[in-house]
Amino acid sequence: MGSPGARLDFPNYPGGGKRGCSPGRKSGKKNANEDEDDLESRSSGSPSNCFGFVAYSVNAGEKPRVKIKTTQEPSYSCSTRCDSDRTPTPSPSPSPSPRKLRCVDQREPETHERRERHSKRRRAKEGIFDTFDFTWLGTPSTMATSASSHLNKGIKQVYMALPQGEKVQAMYIWIDGTGEGLRCKTRTLDSEPKCVEELPEWNFDGSSTFQSEGSNSDMYLVPAAMFRDPFRKDPNKLVFCEVFKYNRKPAETNLRHTCKRIMDMVSNQRPWFGMEQEYTLMGTDGHPFGWPSNGFPGPQDKAYGRDIVEAHYRACLYAGIKIGGTNAEVMPAQWEFQIGPCEGIDMGDHLWVARFILHRVCEDFGVIATFDPKPIPGNWNGAGCHTNFSTKAMREENGLKYIEEAIEKLSKRHQPICGANNILKTRRFRSSHFYEVPLLPPVFFLDWLNIPQPRRTGCKGIEPD
């Protein structure tokens, strides 16, 4: 049996609105807000693609049913395939028109939105999805559920409980060529490492991670930070690595190398960072987790996915991540976790490994965590990663003076700072849910001015661990 298909009903999304259907829908009188070209569905089934529409069938082997229209008002129901040219069997209705049958969608004017919508459906059918676009239509049935989440976890625990002797499993984690994706691979060590310096370097094929050409694809993994493994448990380790090319130069996405050099230069300033990482939980079909398949939840209704959040929180604590807390965000299925305060380069190491643990936990639960700044178009809250920063001088007496001096210096470098940010974030900058500091460039938001005791700036803050 296939799983029920999901309807993506986003009014502000090009081609969204009424395109698609929900399981259990019966043909008959339409509501006032329904479109002519809604699909007729059967009681349940897996989604299939037919002429750019999402169709449903009761069993995986059954042919999808699609509601089609003539150029006049009489309608027909047919059982057909995308590559079928059989004549449809007319339903009880007025006599058929001699004109050629065609889908209503073909009568739309040739617009950019229509071409983009059809392109998304075609790419989705071929299994090609946009990196940050989870609102595609016509999702293949193979993505309707997570196969990993349906495995018997009890059987896995039987093997995970077996003794491993003196050996240690070390999972090496690194950032791939996209600058946002994380990769990992595991090796066996003869003994438990006590510090990161005891971990050996490793290598991998960079041509499969968008980091090198196939003709010269050797890349090196240099351990940078080590954490306890919350999935395999002690004495096993998670190892966050820097990536270097065959000539021992940092890879293009190895920004940690430069950052560490700068942090070492200003170590006497004792820079503290605190990150507030927001994310959205999505089903593997691209629909927000817990949302109704044919509509929208209340703007600030119930929280969806609390079990995932609790599991991630505990896993980070076990690993030694400096996670400061977690909370539900404005949009349903949207959450946030805080990392810090961390000093210097530790901030990046802890944040990236916390992201990795989140993806790994979501894999077990059969959902996807996306850091897309605007996963749902329209008047829905976006997601970001607020950065809180201070130096030793800012945390002492008369600290506000040094904060104002820092803002003045940063304002003179507004364009370079904006250029260093991911261009996709501009979608969130334009969101009505963001509030800017008056008389300052848009990059400076209220969250930048994070002070341990805002009304008494200059009082001692809390020392980091």
Q: Which of 361, 390, 419 is the last residue of a domain?
A: 390
Render pLDDT for 92-138 as a digit per residue (tens, 0 to 9): 555 554 554 444 444 445 566 666 666 766 655 554 444 333 333 33
Residue 419 lies in a domain: no
Highest mean pLDDT among 171-175, 298-302, 411-415: 171-175
Residue 329 lies in a domain: yes
Cα(first)–Cα(last) distance of the chain, in Å? Answer: 53
Residue found by looking up tokens 């990795």 in the block: 356
> Does 15 score more than 60 pLDDT?
no
Render pLDDT for 29-56 as a digit per residue (tens, 0 to 9): 444 444 433 333 333 333 333 333 333 3
Domain CATH number, residue 183: 3.10.20.70
Structural domain span for residue 370: 270-390
Same-domain check for residues 196 and 250? yes
Q: What confidence score (pLDDT) does residue 417 get?
A: 76
Yes or no: say if 340 and 323 are a contact pair by the CB < 8 Å rule: no
Residue length, the chain? 465
Residue 58 lies in a domain: no
Residue 73 lies in a domain: no
Q: What confidence score (pLDDT) does residue 379 get?
A: 81
Tally of structural domains, the chain: 2
Domain CATH number, residue 315: 3.30.590.10
* Stretch 438-442: mean pLDDT: 39
- By DSSP bridging, strand 237-244 and strand 168-175 are parallel
Q: Which of 357, 390, 423 is the last residue of a domain?
A: 390
Residue with the bigger pLDDT between 75 and 311: it is 311
Q: CB within 8 A of 363, min separation 6: which ones?
A: 146, 148, 149
- In the sheet where 218-228 sits, what is the strand order? 182-189, 168-175, 237-244, 218-228, 202-205
Q: Which of 335, 364, 390 is the last residue of a domain?
A: 390
> Does 280 score more than 90 pLDDT?
yes
